Protein backbone atom coordinates (compact mmCIF):
# COMPACT_ATOMS: atom_id res chain seq x y z
CA UNK A 1 0.00 0.00 0.00
CA UNK A 2 2.21 2.76 -1.30
CA UNK A 3 1.20 5.91 0.57
CA UNK A 4 2.80 8.19 -2.00
CA UNK A 5 0.42 6.92 -4.68
CA UNK A 6 -2.76 6.58 -2.67
CA UNK A 7 -2.24 9.72 -0.62
CA UNK A 8 -3.06 12.36 -3.23
CA UNK A 9 -6.00 10.93 -5.08
CA UNK A 10 -8.63 13.25 -6.46
CA UNK A 11 -12.27 12.72 -5.54
CA UNK A 12 -12.83 11.45 -9.04
CA UNK A 13 -10.11 8.81 -8.88
CA UNK A 14 -11.29 7.75 -5.45
CA UNK A 15 -14.73 7.26 -6.94
CA UNK A 16 -13.33 5.02 -9.66
CA UNK A 17 -11.37 3.02 -7.13
CA UNK A 18 -14.42 2.63 -4.93
CA UNK A 19 -16.56 1.55 -7.86
CA UNK A 20 -14.04 -1.12 -8.83
CA UNK A 21 -13.86 -2.21 -5.22
CA UNK A 22 -17.62 -2.61 -5.01
CA UNK A 23 -17.84 -4.39 -8.35
CA UNK A 24 -15.14 -6.85 -7.36
CA UNK A 25 -16.37 -7.35 -3.80
CA UNK A 26 -17.98 -10.70 -4.53
CA UNK A 27 -14.97 -12.11 -6.36
CA UNK A 28 -16.13 -10.86 -9.74
CA UNK A 29 -13.87 -8.91 -12.07
CA UNK A 30 -14.67 -5.30 -12.94
CA UNK A 31 -15.39 -4.44 -16.52
CA UNK A 32 -15.09 -0.99 -17.99
CA UNK A 33 -18.75 -0.95 -18.99
CA UNK A 34 -19.90 -1.70 -15.43
CA UNK A 35 -17.69 1.01 -13.98
CA UNK A 36 -19.09 3.47 -16.51
CA UNK A 37 -22.64 2.47 -15.61
CA UNK A 38 -22.14 2.66 -11.88
CA UNK A 39 -20.52 6.09 -12.02
CA UNK A 40 -22.74 7.31 -14.84
CA UNK A 41 -19.87 8.45 -17.05
CA UNK A 42 -18.94 7.66 -20.64
CA UNK A 43 -16.87 4.59 -21.44
CA UNK A 44 -14.02 6.76 -22.64
CA UNK A 45 -13.85 8.50 -19.29
CA UNK A 46 -13.34 5.13 -17.64
CA UNK A 47 -10.52 4.30 -20.04
CA UNK A 48 -8.77 7.52 -19.08
CA UNK A 49 -9.22 7.02 -15.37
CA UNK A 50 -8.06 3.42 -15.52
CA UNK A 51 -4.95 4.53 -17.34
CA UNK A 52 -4.18 7.03 -14.58
CA UNK A 53 -4.84 4.49 -11.83
CA UNK A 54 -2.65 1.95 -13.60
CA UNK A 55 0.19 4.48 -13.78
CA UNK A 56 -0.17 4.89 -10.03
CA UNK A 57 -0.02 1.12 -9.64
CA UNK A 58 -3.45 0.99 -8.07
CA UNK A 59 -5.09 -1.20 -10.69
CA UNK A 60 -4.00 -3.99 -13.01
CA UNK A 61 -5.17 -3.63 -16.55
CA UNK A 62 -4.22 -4.73 -20.01
CA UNK A 63 -5.97 -3.27 -23.07
CA UNK A 64 -9.39 -4.79 -23.72
CA UNK A 65 -9.09 -6.80 -20.54
CA UNK A 66 -10.85 -6.42 -17.22
CA UNK A 67 -9.68 -4.45 -14.24
CA UNK A 68 -8.50 -5.63 -10.83
CA UNK A 69 -7.11 -3.78 -7.85
CA UNK A 70 -3.49 -4.10 -6.82
CA UNK A 71 -2.88 -4.53 -3.08
CA UNK A 72 -2.20 -0.79 -2.85
CA UNK A 73 -5.35 -0.04 -4.83
CA UNK A 74 -7.38 -2.36 -2.67
CA UNK A 75 -6.12 -0.67 0.49
CA UNK A 76 -6.93 2.78 -0.85
CA UNK A 77 -10.36 1.69 -2.06
CA UNK A 78 -11.11 0.00 1.23
CA UNK A 79 -10.21 3.18 3.05
CA UNK A 80 -12.67 5.19 0.94
CA UNK A 81 -15.38 2.56 1.28
CA UNK A 82 -14.86 2.45 5.03
CA UNK A 83 -15.22 6.24 5.28
CA UNK A 84 -18.37 6.00 3.22
CA UNK A 85 -19.89 3.40 5.53
CA UNK A 86 -19.00 5.29 8.70
CA UNK A 87 -20.43 8.56 7.43
CA UNK A 88 -23.58 6.96 6.14
CA UNK A 89 -24.11 5.06 9.36
CA UNK A 90 -23.84 8.26 11.33
CA UNK A 91 -26.28 10.05 9.04
CA UNK A 92 -28.84 7.26 9.16
CA UNK A 93 -28.55 5.90 12.68
CA UNK A 94 -27.87 9.09 14.57
CA UNK A 95 -29.26 11.94 12.50
CA UNK A 96 -32.14 9.91 11.09
CA UNK A 97 -31.41 10.90 7.50
CA UNK A 98 -33.25 9.09 4.72
CA UNK A 99 -31.22 6.21 3.30
CA UNK A 100 -30.92 7.53 -0.24
CA UNK A 101 -29.93 11.01 0.85
CA UNK A 102 -27.43 9.60 3.32
CA UNK A 103 -25.95 7.48 0.55
CA UNK A 104 -25.53 10.47 -1.76
CA UNK A 105 -24.09 12.73 0.91
CA UNK A 106 -21.69 10.03 2.09
CA UNK A 107 -20.44 9.67 -1.51
CA UNK A 108 -19.34 13.27 -1.39
CA UNK A 109 -18.26 13.62 2.22
CA UNK A 110 -16.04 10.54 2.02
CA UNK A 111 -13.59 12.55 -0.09
CA UNK A 112 -13.23 15.47 2.30
CA UNK A 113 -13.20 14.06 5.83
CA UNK A 114 -9.80 13.04 7.16
CA UNK A 115 -8.95 10.10 9.38
CA UNK A 116 -9.20 11.93 12.68
CA UNK A 117 -12.76 13.06 12.10
CA UNK A 118 -13.72 9.70 10.63
CA UNK A 119 -12.42 7.91 13.69
CA UNK A 120 -14.36 10.22 16.00
CA UNK A 121 -17.50 9.84 13.93
CA UNK A 122 -17.22 6.07 14.17
CA UNK A 123 -16.55 6.20 17.88
CA UNK A 124 -19.41 8.58 18.44
CA UNK A 125 -21.88 6.42 16.56
CA UNK A 126 -20.67 3.42 18.54
CA UNK A 127 -20.90 5.38 21.77
CA UNK A 128 -24.46 6.45 21.16
CA UNK A 129 -25.45 2.97 20.02
CA UNK A 130 -23.86 1.42 23.10
CA UNK A 131 -25.61 3.82 25.46
CA UNK A 132 -28.75 3.03 23.54
CA UNK A 133 -28.32 -0.63 24.49
CA UNK A 134 -27.93 0.31 28.12
CA UNK A 135 -31.37 1.84 28.43
CA UNK A 136 -31.53 5.33 26.94
CA UNK A 137 -32.32 5.73 23.27
CA UNK A 138 -30.49 8.93 22.40
CA UNK A 139 -31.04 8.69 18.66
CA UNK A 140 -34.71 8.01 19.24
CA UNK A 141 -35.04 10.94 21.62
CA UNK A 142 -33.32 13.15 19.07
CA UNK A 143 -35.80 12.01 16.46
CA UNK A 144 -38.63 13.35 18.63
CA UNK A 145 -36.75 16.54 19.41
CA UNK A 146 -36.02 17.08 15.73
CA UNK A 147 -39.59 16.55 14.58
CA UNK A 148 -40.88 19.27 16.85
CA UNK A 149 -38.42 21.91 15.78
CA UNK A 150 -38.71 21.55 12.01
CA UNK A 151 -41.95 21.90 10.21
CA UNK A 152 -42.12 25.16 8.33
CA UNK A 153 -38.59 25.39 6.93
CA UNK A 154 -38.82 22.22 4.87
CA UNK A 155 -40.13 23.64 1.60
CA UNK A 156 -37.41 26.28 1.48
CA UNK A 157 -34.78 23.64 2.09
CA UNK A 158 -36.17 21.37 -0.57
CA UNK A 159 -35.72 24.17 -3.08
CA UNK A 160 -32.04 24.47 -2.20
CA UNK A 161 -31.33 20.77 -2.20
CA UNK A 162 -28.92 19.60 -4.89
Q: Which of residues 8-37 bind a copy of itself (CB under 8 A)?
A: 8
CB nearer to DNA: give 17 or 102: 17
How far is the C-alpha of 125 from the C-alpha of 119, rounded, in Å? 10
CB nearer to DNA: give 42 or 138: 42
Please, are residues 139 and 132 in contact by the beta-carbon 8 Å criterion?
Answer: yes
Positions in the binding site for DNA (CB under 7 A):
10-13, 15, 31-33, 36, 39-52, 61, 63-66
Q: Select from a copy of itself, DNA, none the partner in contact with residue 87, using the beta carbon and a kind-dependent cut-off of 5 to 8 Å.
A: none
CB nearer to DNA: give 37 or 142: 37
Residues near 59 by beta carbon (within 8 Å), at least 6 away in sequence? 17, 20, 50, 53, 67, 68, 69, 70, 73
Amino acid sequence: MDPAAAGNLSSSLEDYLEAIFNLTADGEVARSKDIADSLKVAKSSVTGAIKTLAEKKLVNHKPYGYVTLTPAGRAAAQNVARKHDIIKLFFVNILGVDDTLAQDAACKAEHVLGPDIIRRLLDFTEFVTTRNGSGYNLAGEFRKFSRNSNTQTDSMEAAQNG
